[in-house]
Chain A
Amino acid sequence: MPAIITTKDEDLLDALIDPRQQIDYQQDARAFVRIDTSLRVYWHTLFDTCPSLLELSGPEGLSIFHPFMSWAADHHLRMDWTLYLQLYAWLTRSEFRHRLNDRHAQQLVAAAAARWATSDRGSSAGVAITRQGRADLLVGWKCRRIDQGREIEVIALDTPLPPPDGLFGYFFIPDFELAHFPGWQHPDLPGMHP
């Protein structure tokens, strides 16, 4: 099949998110490098934030990155802050499942909370996330002081909350006080049913 020739970003939007499509482009062309640049940002967003994943995959991370990104494309994942939770869910059914540990899980949950805190533009001040089997909450707070950034903290609960129906549960916190439990929301985890 001849390589795709393109002259606009608009022509290669699918390929910017799906590593399987990069081979359709001529390797010595700007479009190929442009796609590579886009994919590298996803790579860094995952592995710079959760370096413990590289213990599973090896230093290049590709044995996780390529199949996970392909799965994400197949399931049309939104690539929002829940991506890290979706990655954990994917890992639990991958060849890496027997080597997954609590540290990997907590790093991914913390990454999800941090990404929400820096990217969400809604009015909520925080997000609380729990993982099935844990009694605590990992909370991400948006920036509330001009001399600070977002904050992540683990909060132990005096009275345990009901467990989420799925692997993860989360709820948004309207202000900077964890005073009310509104019930769990659940991330979209394709193929995993509560």
Chain B
Amino acid sequence: MEIGINFTLGETLNDVQRLIQDGLVDYCELLIDNFLHVPPDDIARAFDVPLGFHIMLSRFLETDLASLKQLAHRLKPYIDTLQPTYISDHVARFSHQGRQLYHLAEVDYRQAYHAIKVRVEIWQELTGSQLLLENFPSILDGGRDAPEFFARLQADTGAGVLFDFSNAICARQNCELPLAAWDAVIRGNRHFHVGSYSPSILAPPITLDTHDAELSSDTLEFLYQHQEHLQDDGVTLTYERDDNPGYDVLARDLTRLRQHLTSQPD
């Protein structure tokens, strides 16, 4: 198992490089579409560890094909130079009737399956790579269809799942989707995310994927249930943190995560 950290903003480079030097992370996951004007060789020089790619704003389910082709063309030198361990993207609604949704919405997994399948095939062909697709931090009951959707999509297209453990906790708390519903998806994939969540301001509280705090005990417990699979060679687990809390906070949580996943069962 390798533990990594997300890298989304240049301002955090010093902290991330220090985490690498101190052996607290084994790889980095770049939010690659934030860095498409940074020469690939400069990125290669900044990180002496393997890299994963996470794509945030391809909007590949919605954007026109010409724009998608152009983005794939711009990604290619980064893929060729940096040889990412994986390339991942999002199954979500980024807009509604042409209007941007700032808080992304969950797709209708049943109704949109075939349209999504076609787009996944196109996006994989354009990037020349297998895509991993992240599960959504579901809020409403439509999220209960997610495990079956991702398993079917993986079987039909070869696209894997970038399974986010804390997003699954959100879905359990919001729409009572049992964690066990994801067992087959977890066993069938090798690249994972974990982060923190927070309750909404209004009641009844819903659980929101926020990446702004240390990992919760139920997230750690969920990871521990899959400890054996996570410890396999080549399996990656990216710790996501977006609030830029500084080296000490990151180091503490990453150390706790590694100790938790390498501890012996009671």
Contact = CB atoms under 8 A, between A and B. Distances in A.
B99 A78 contact: yes
Prevailing SS type, chain A contact patch? loop
Given A10-B105, A38-B101, A142-B37, A122 B70 contact: yes
A143 B39 CA distance: 11
B35 A146 contact: yes
Contacts of A32: 202
Given A13-B105, A28-B204, A34 B140 contact: yes
- Most chain B CB within 10 A, of A7, A29, A118, is at A7
Interface in A174-194: 176
A9 B105 contact: yes
Interface in B95-124: 96-103, 105-108, 111
B141 interface: yes
A166 B129 CA distance: 45
Contacts of B108: 8-10
Nearest to B11: A149
Contacts of A7: 140-142
B35 A123 contact: no
B38 A146 contact: yes
B33 interface: yes
A150 to B, nearest CB: 9
Interface in B56-80: 57-58, 67, 70-71, 74
B46 interface: yes
Interface string A113-129: 00000110111010000
Contacts, number: 130
Interface stretch (A40-48, A59-67, A94-102, A131-139): A40-48
Interface string A71-114: 00000111110000000000000000000000000000000000
Contacts of B10: 143, 145-149
Q: Which residue, B36, B57, B140, has most C-beta atoms of chain A within 10 A?
A: B140
A36 B200 contact: yes
B5 interface: no
A30 B204 CA distance: 6
Contact of B70 (A79, A118, A123): A123
Interface in B122-167: 139-142
B9 interface: yes
B201 A118 contact: no
Contact of B96 (A13, A30, A80, A146): A13
Interface in B18-34: 33-34
A10 B38 contact: no
B11 to A, nearest CB: 6
A133 B218 CA distance: 57
Interface in B40-64: 42-43, 46, 57-58
B13 interface: yes
Contacts of A125: 37
A78 B97 CA distance: 9
B93 A37 contact: no
A147 B200 contact: no
B37 A143 contact: yes
Contact of A78 (B35, B38, B100): B100
A142 B70 CA distance: 17
A119 B102 contact: no
Contacts of B71: 121
A26 to B, nearest CB: 10
Contacts of B36: 121, 142
A114 to B, nearest CB: 13
Contacts of A148: 10-11
9 interchain residue pairs of minimum CB distance:
A8-B142, A13-B96, A79-B100, A9-B105, A38-B103, A41-B102, A7-B141, A10-B108, A9-B106
Given A9-B105, A145-B38, 19 more contacts: A7-B140, A7-B142, A9-B139, A10-B106, A13-B97, A16-B96, A30-B174, A33-B206, A36-B202, A37-B103, A37-B200, A37-B201, A41-B102, A41-B103, A42-B102, A121-B58, A123-B74, A144-B38, A145-B10
